[in-house]
Structure formats: C-alpha cells, structure tokens
Amino acid sequence: MTIDNLKDLYIDQLKDLYSACKQSMPIVTEMGRAAHSRELAEALIAGNEGIGRGMESLAKLCNDHGEDPTGEHCKGMEGLVIEAKKHAIDAKFGDNDVRDAAIITQYQRLTHYAIAGYGCVRTFANRLGLDGDGAVLQECLDSTRHGDVHMTKIAEGGVNKAAAEA
C-alpha cells in the first residue's frame, strides 16, 4: 500500500496497532500465568480482555473503511514481546516478587507502545473529521491508560516493596 495522504497513514496505523495488540495477547497471558501476586495475575487477565476489546474496535474501524485489519506486522511490538519473554518469563529469578516486578515492567512497556499508537490514530481520525472513529479510539486510549495506572498502583502498592526485601 502506498501512503499518499493522512487517511492512508491512518488506515496503515490502525492495521499496525491491530497487529501490535494481537501479538501482545499471548505474552500477557504467559505473564499472567507466571505472576505470583494474585492481584497482578487478575490485572493481567483484565488487561488481556481490554486488549481484545481494543482489537475488536480496531477491526470494526478498518472494516468500516473497507479495509481488512490483518496483513500488517508490527515490528515494534514484535521486539517488545521478545523482550518481555526474555526478561519476565525466561529469566531466572530467585524470588517471586522480583519476577512480579519484572512482569509489571514488561507489561507497562507493551502498554506504553499501545498508548502511543492509540493517541496517534485518534489524532489522525479527529484531523480527518472522523469524529466517530476518534471517539472510539479515545475510549481505547482511556482504557489502556487506566490499565497502565492500575499496574503502577500494584507495583507501588506492594510488589516493589516485597521485591526490595528479597
């Protein structure tokens, strides 16, 4: 696809974000299984549900513009998933709380990538006068930010303290 204008870029980035979300789901599931903290594991399950809702919204927006959301491969998220696996799943930890701190770190890196993506496509949609799209993308952005804030609360509320005492 040749990107000739902002609308083309918007569609390209919707597809890229869809790919990013799709790639992140399996590693978030894996991190949820590896989490020692029940609160963390539950937050990761909720995070995956949010990612799934985001994917549904992205697919609908693409379809509304006559586009298939698949076919794009997000190399940025591919790298983040590799890093999450390396640093939160495959690494050897002498303490479960330290692993939980690593899981939060990696999850938030994935989340921050999604926040940047949703913010950009929302801004493109609004500039293009696609106010309905912009509203949907704002909801996705707000949900993703909420998950990030919740993860910070889990870290600050006990995981990091317990990891520091390890």
Q: Are 55 and 22 within 8 A, CB to CB?
A: yes
Domain borders along the chain are: 6-165
Give the CATH architecture of domain 6-165: Up-down Bundle (1.20)
pLDDT tens-place string over residues 89-106: 999 999 999 999 999 999
Q: What is the chain's mean pLDDT, rounded? A: 97
Q: What pLDDT, on the 0 to 100 scale, is given for residue 166?
A: 79
Which residues make Cβ contacts (< 8 Å) with residue 31, sequence separation at least 6? Answer: 44, 84, 88, 89, 103, 106, 107
Whether the per-residue pLDDT at 1 is higher than 80: the answer is no
Q: Are 20 and 112 within 8 A, CB to CB?
A: no
